[in-house]
Amino acid sequence: MSLVKLIEEADERGLAASGLACLDRCLPLLAEETEILRPLWAGVVGGEEDWPARLSASREALDAVGGPAPDVTTALVRTMLGAAPSEWAAGPLRTWADTCSVVALEIHQQLDAVGEDGPAAAAERLARCREDTGAVTDAADGAESTDGIGPLAAGELRRQIAILEILAETPGAAGVRRALDLSTEGQRVLRAVVSRRARAGS
C-alpha cells in the first residue's frame, strides 16, 4: 500500500504517531537534545486525555532549547510541532501527519542533494514516491535511490511506511514503542549526517 493510502486509512493514534515520528527524526537539525519529544510519545499512548497537555509542554520545551543558527530547514522543523493540532480527531491529525510526511521527505531529499533539476522536480519525484506502491519495495530493499530520490529520502520513505503499518497492525502501547524504536533509528542516521557536515565545514 502506498504511503498516501496508509495515511488516508490510519486512525487517530496512527496519525499522531506518524506525524510525531517525522518531527522526531528531524530533531538533530534543530537541537542537540534529541529526546525532548519523548513525553509526547506518551501522549500518543494516552490519546485524547493526554495529547493536548503533553503537546503544549513539548512546544514550551522545544522553544527553550538552543540550537544552530535559524535557517529555512530549522524553521520547518519548528513549524511541524507548531502546526500539530491539540484536538484528538482524525481530520486535523490526518492533515498534520500528511504535512509532516512531506516536510520530512523534503528535508531528507535536500540533505541528499540528488540531481540538479531544481526543487520543483524534486518535489514532483517525492510526491510520486508517496503515491507509488512500488516505491515501498525499493525503499525497503535499501536501494541507493527510489525513482530518482536519494538514499536518505528513500530511507525516510521506508520508515514512514513501516511506522504506519506497525501502528495499523499492533494495538496499544506496544505499537507506539515499536514506532518510536524505528524513528530513533532514523534519528541516528540524520544525526550522523549532521555531524559529518559539521566536521566538513569546520
pLDDT band (50, 70, 90) for residue 73: confident
C-alpha cell read off for 147: 525513482
Q: Work out how many domains the chain is built from and give that number.
A: 1
Q: Which residues, other chains included, contact 51 with Cβ-Cβ below 8 Å and sequence gap of 6+?
A: 16, 43, 44, 86, 88
pLDDT (0 to 100) of residue 202: 61
Most confident by average pLDDT, 34-43, 124-133, 141-150: 34-43
pLDDT band (50, 70, 90) for residue 21: very high
Q: How far apart are CA 197 and CA 202, in angstroms?
A: 9
pLDDT (0 to 100) of residue 142: 42
User: DSSP label at 34?
Assistant: T
> Which one is predicted more confidently, 139 or 47?
47
pTM of the model: 0.88
Task: Return the percentage of the chain with pLDDT > 70, whole number.
Answer: 86
Domain range for 38: 3-201
Q: Which of 5, 20, 2, 29 is nearest to 183 (CA)?
A: 20
Q: How far apart are CA 144 and CA 158, in angstroms?
A: 12
Largest CA distance in the chain: 47
Q: How many CB atoms lie within 10 A of CB 85?
A: 18
Identify how many contiguous H helices and E strands the chain contains and give both numbers. Answer: 10, 0
Q: Which of 128, 166, 120, 96 is nearest to 2 (CA)?
A: 128
Q: Which residues, other chains included, contact 40 with Cβ-Cβ below 8 Å and sequence gap of 6+?
A: 20, 54, 55, 57, 58
Q: Report, as an integer, the average pLDDT of 93-107.
A: 95
Q: How far apart are CA 115 and CA 13, in angstroms?
A: 36
